[in-house]
A and B are shown apart, each in its own frame.
Chain A
Amino acid sequence: MEASITLKNVSKHFKKRYVLSNLSIGIEKGSTFAIIGRNGAGKSTLLRIISSIMEPDNGMVYINGQEIIQNAAKVKKVIGYLPDEDMHDPWLTGRENLDKRAKYLGLKSEDFSNQVEPLIKLFELEDELDNYPVTCSRGIKRRLDIVQVLMGNPEIVILDEPTMGLDYHTRSVLFRYILEHKGKNTFIFSSNEFTEIQTIADRWIVLDRGRIRFDGTLENMIEQIELPFYGNIEFRHGGYQLIKALQHVKEIKEVHDLGKTIQIVTENMNNFLAILQKVNLDEIISISGSSIHVEEFLKQLNSDEGL
């Protein structure tokens, strides 16, 4: 597949500390690419560099074969970038902010009706546009910024923690949008949650202190490392009795009492399912679980490498 974005030996440092260290990646055209890592791993810096907003100290970045610093104006035409903070003017209403952005992008009024109005509808912002952002909730502000980024249908969409502050419904609207446009547009986004990424990303990298610790797919990840399963059981009246009963079960690695919810860490999902057999289902409100946690994954990688 043709590469949409290529990074060659990219490094960036702030105050003598390397935030990105010699990164080289290729991101395929039309793919959905995710960057995962803990706070301070270098995700936002990497996204800012790919967006041509920040310049790397060393290395080269190419977008559709063009070097980004020399061709910044040209390259930025195909990019929509959502930072991890508010991207609107508090002195302007929601609609005025959208108009402002449309003018910067050179959208004509007919393009605004054809391209932006459907996005306003999709992200349910119709009733909020005449308000000043300062009076809106975190989630509405984020929706406004997402619409700003998606307007003009940029070929490459870069989203830095896009779901921050979004409710469940809007998250699924955004994910559906990404899935529908996958193939035509390239999506790159960052997150520190595996669960939201594994449904939409074709490929991801795990960043840790500016270095790529993993590059691949979910299948590659599971093949590479055995990850424990984190199961959460929410009880109507707390699960103290269960905690007592589970104290001597061999398959359980850890039990965390989180009030009405009990988190059970087992070696794999089957062990967790076996434990569920022992629980009175009438007492349970909800069950959830995941086998992928950034922290655990990095811990495993470090222990394998003897770090």
Chain B
Amino acid sequence: MNPLQTILLTELKPFWKRAWIELLVNVLTTVILYIGFVIGLSSLIPRIQTVALHEWIFPGIVGFYAIIITFNLSLLEISKLSDKRGLLDQIYSTPLVAYQVYLVKSFVYLLRGIVYLIVSSLVLLLLAGKNIQFGWLILFWLYYVVGLIFIVQAGIITGFILTKSKLQHGMILMLFIAVLLCTGIIIPSSFYPGILNPIVKFFPTNVLIEGGRELLVFHKLSGVFSLYIIVFDSILTGISYFIFRRRITN
């Protein structure tokens, strides 16, 4: 095992130790979202744009949950590191240099997001009894993995910039409401009139959710959305590393 693998496993250990709690929360939350959005809403809105509600909402619930959890985890973990400097010193006072610490930390947060993504997808598949082609599900997951990179980076940046916990919780709540109501989980961006239409359509989390839906429901990969995500990933990774490096070396 090379040193970076060893470090990754070591960094994952605290999460691994409480994995059962996270898994339980993951399953329960997915079930609650399914009850609320699919069972509760389907008699009121049986179809959206010719697609059955449970099919329409499946990628939305998975995406919503993965986005919120990944953002929260990376924000709160970074803020813990920022608050308790000694925690970062334990790693950074070893021969690791700034970019290695940054990569390890980012990868750990991403990995946790991916676990939430996969578990909630599987729970929803079981609940809805839906037949999804395995190949498209894998593509859907891959699309999200690339997308979750910028969510992790957004969490890191916010965690470093907003140092007060009240502001952090405010930001989490704002993202929660914005993603839930304005990024295509239920209402497609095409339904928004005028200037709101491009704003909602190209809001980063909507690009993830609607792009994921195109893959899973319509079996189409949006080139524009994919390019958008890659560009956004690169920009946020650059900013996030710049802030991370500044914070740990200052």
Interface residues of A (CB under 8 A from B): 51, 53-55, 72-74, 76-77, 79-81, 83, 85-89, 91-92, 96-97, 99-101, 103-106, 145, 148-149
Contact = CB atoms under 8 A, between A and B. Distances in A.
A96 B13 CA distance: 9
Given A86-B84, A92-B17, A103-B7, 17 more contacts: A51-B93, A53-B93, A53-B249, A76-B95, A76-B96, A76-B97, A79-B93, A81-B89, A83-B85, A85-B85, A86-B87, A87-B86, A87-B89, A100-B13, A100-B90, A101-B94, A104-B90
B14 interface: yes
B91 interface: yes
Interface of B: 3, 6-7, 10, 13-14, 17-18, 84-87, 89-98, 248-250
Contacts, number: 78
A54 B87 contact: no
Given A87-B86, A100-B13, A104-B10, A73 B95 contact: yes
Nearest to B246: A55
B92 A103 contact: no
Contact of A72 (B87, B89, B97, B250): B97
Nearest to A93: B17
B30 to A, nearest CB: 25
List the 4 closest pairs (A to B, CB-CB), nearest first.
A91-B14, A104-B94, A87-B86, A81-B93
Given A91-B14, A106-B3, A53 B95 contact: no
Contacts of B3: 106
Contact of A86 (B17, B86, B96, B248): B86
B249 A148 contact: no
Contacts of A85: 84-86
B250 to A, nearest CB: 6
A89 B98 CA distance: 19
